[in-house]
């Protein structure tokens, strides 16, 4: 199963969700934000090198704490040398050899995330309870569905405690997918500052329930996909 974590607007928490889904699903996390990578750095070659044909993806994957990553470089020259058209073959190979793959998409719409979304089996949309973020989530949903990438789950991030029930129901109804709410919590911010999953920083943090819920939604999609393949 290949999962694209997207959302349109930058800064809504896509990297946070990608990192934690990698932990919950036992997946390889691919930092596919070629220009503004935000996940842990690796110790050797990175996705820029892979997409430029200088490195093998399986040799670049490395464990950073409890999560396996295919990290991305931070240089403009590396981004310019990358051939994004190679990404689908890279993630397909990772899925065959490693199992589940989570792709952290860049911010933006249309061409900025089209390749990442199209190479995934399902998408997780990350948004915030602001008008601009929700509008971008709606637009990203349209792009994903146009590329035949169904939405497995919505993440409503940085919500205010006790003020989200009505908004959660509205988002779930309008975007047509199960919605998990992550409240504004210091433990989540602390974990991201350390570039570690929330579960490994604060095992009692309420956000873990949301990450587990999203992971279960993905697993249900994975089972439905497996059933369809089995029928064929």
Question: For 93-99, what is the mean pLDDT?
Answer: 95
Tell me which CATH code domain 2-231 carries.
Answer: 3.40.50.300
pLDDT tens by residue, 172-200 = 888 888 999 998 899 999 999 999 999 99
pLDDT, the chain, mean: 89
pLDDT, residue 231, reads: 45
User: Exposure string (b/e) for 49-61, b if CB count within 10 Å is 16 or more?
Assistant: bbbbeebebeebb
What pLDDT was estimated at residue 112? 60
**Burial state string for 190-226 with b = 16 or more CB within 10 A and e = fewer than 16:** ebbeebbbbbeebeebebbebbebbbbbbeebbeeee
User: Could you report the per-residue pLDDT of 132-183, keeping only the tens digit for each?
Assistant: 888 888 888 888 888 899 999 999 998 876 666 677 777 888 888 899 999 8
What does the pLDDT look like over 53-80, one tens digit per residue? 999 999 999 999 999 999 999 999 999 9
Continuous segment of H or E residues that includes residue 210: helix 207-231
Confidence of residue 111 (pLDDT cuts 50, 70, 90): low
């Amino acid at each position: 199963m290949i999962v694209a974590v997207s959302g349109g607007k930058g800064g809504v928490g896509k990297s946070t969700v990608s990192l934690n889904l990698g932990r919950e699903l036992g997946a390889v996390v691919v930092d596919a934000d070629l220009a503004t990578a935000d996940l842990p750095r690796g110790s050797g070659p990175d996705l820029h090198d892979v997409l430029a044909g200088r490195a093998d993806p399986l040799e670049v994957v490395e464990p950073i704490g409890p999560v396996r990553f295919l990290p991305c470089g931070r240089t403009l020259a590396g981004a310019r040398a990358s051939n994004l058209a190679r990404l689908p073959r890279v993630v397909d190979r990772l899925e065959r050899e490693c199992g589940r793959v989570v792709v952290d998409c860049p911010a933006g719409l249309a061409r900025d995330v089209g390749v990442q979304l199209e190479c995934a089996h399902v998408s997780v949309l990350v948004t915030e309870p602001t008008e601009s973020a929700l509008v971008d989530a709606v637009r990203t949903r349209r792009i994903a569905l146009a590329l035949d990438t169904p939405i497995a789950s919505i993440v409503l991030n940085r919500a205010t405690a006790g003020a989200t029930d009505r908004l959660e129901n509205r988002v779930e109804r309008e975007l047509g997918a199960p919605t998990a709410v992550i409240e504004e919590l210091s433990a989540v911010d602390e974990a991201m500052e350390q570039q570690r999953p929330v579960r490994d920083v604060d095992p009692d943090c309420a956000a873990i329930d949301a990450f587990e819920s999203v992971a279960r939604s993905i697993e249900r999609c994975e089972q439905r996909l497996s059933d369809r393949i089995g029928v064929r």
